[in-house]
Amino acid sequence: MNTPPAHIQSFFHEGTSTVTYLVADIASGQAAVIDPVLDYDHRSGKLHTASADAVLAAAREAGFAIAWVLETHAHADHLSAAPWIQQQTGARVGIGQHIREVQRLFRPVFNLTDVSCDGSEFDHLFTDGECLHIGGLRVEVMHTPGHTPACVAYRVHGGNGQPDAVFVGDTLFMPDYGSARADFPGGSARTLYRSIRRLLALPDDTRLFMCHDYKAPGRDTHAWETTVAGQRRANVHVHDGITEEAFVAARQARDAMLPAPVLLLPSIQVNLRAGHWPPAESNGMRYLKIPMRPAPGMQAP
């Protein structure tokens, strides 16, 4: 009896251009959520769970039990809804083991004395090549650093002649948009190139699912699925024939012109904690920190 392919359902978050995925083994009903988004209004500090609730509702309607929340990395553009999904389902939260390095890099930036730097905020830290199972689906973890040291991709093996499905996080974007920035602390354009080439060494028909889409100039609709063959043929930054040196030079020049993501500061300090908020203070409120960086020669008033 042939095993049916994975059920893959996408949820696009307009405010952050993020794609969350519900991945399920139809036979067993077990499922995972990849890169869930917590709705956050940076101007008011208000939070709500409508986007995550839509994923939960879809899982309930289909009769799926969510066993895992899988993060591709510590996101710098949205707050994770992993704790909310865990509260509602009992799912375990996993991320790549190099999250420890990201915690060590950013803990002093925010003076986050409650962040462990050992990854213990997460339920499981994946190593490169480790496999987990979502029901009958076998999922291989691929370490794909460069955008951050902790980036991983999740390769869901198809079986029965079906192409694999790989959730690549921020390592790649759609072919007409290119690749991720590599200028965050711990990032490396050279390392990113090598991670991308590792992904593009997979079979041509491998399905690749992006974590973001920003609609490249000239494209009117959002898209987030492509193939290895499509990326190798047409990716504007890293198609076949682009050398490592050429990619590094172009990536570094582009990164030097990019502004910081709008939600960089709140996202990082929450996502280092596996999506948990800072501890409550004496009045019961929780507060994010915004480091103040005076220009050279400027003294604090």
Domains (range + CATH), the chain? 7-264 (3.60.15.10)
What are 88-117's pLDDT values in tens digits? 999 999 999 999 999 999 999 999 999 999
Q: Please state, in angstroms and rounded to a whole number, the distance separating the CA atoms of residues 17 and 12.
A: 7
Per-residue confidence (pLDDT) for residue 5, from 0 to 100 = 79
pLDDT grade for 301, boundaries at 50, 70 and 90: confident
Per-residue confidence (pLDDT) for residue 115, from 0 to 100 = 95
Of the candidates 136, 146, 103, 140, the residue with the CA atom closest to the CA atom of residue 271: 103
Separation in Å, CA 32 to CA 12, 21, 29, 125, 235: 16, 8, 10, 16, 29
At residue 164, does pLDDT exceed 80? yes
At residue 1, does pLDDT exceed 50? no
- The pLDDT of 290-295, averaged and rounded, is 90
At residue 173, does pLDDT exceed 60? yes
Count H helices and E strands in the chain, helices first.
Answer: 7, 15
At residue 280, does pLDDT exceed 60? yes
- The pLDDT of 131-135, averaged and rounded, is 97
DSSP output for 63-82: T-EEEEEE-SS--SSSEE-H
* CB 146 within 8 Å of CB 153: no
- The pLDDT of 40-45, averaged and rounded, is 95
pLDDT grade for 229, boundaries at 50, 70 and 90: very high
Q: Mark residue 275 as left, alpha or beta (left: phi above 0; alpha: psi -120 to 50; beta: remaining).
A: left
pLDDT grade for 69, boundaries at 50, 70 and 90: very high
> What percentage of the chain has pLDDT greater than the value 70?
99
Rg (CA), the chain: 19
| DSSP β-ladder status, 152-156 and 165-167 | antiparallel
At residue 263, does pLDDT exceed 90? yes
- Quote the mean pLDDT of the chain: 96
Per-residue confidence (pLDDT) for residue 160, from 0 to 100 = 78
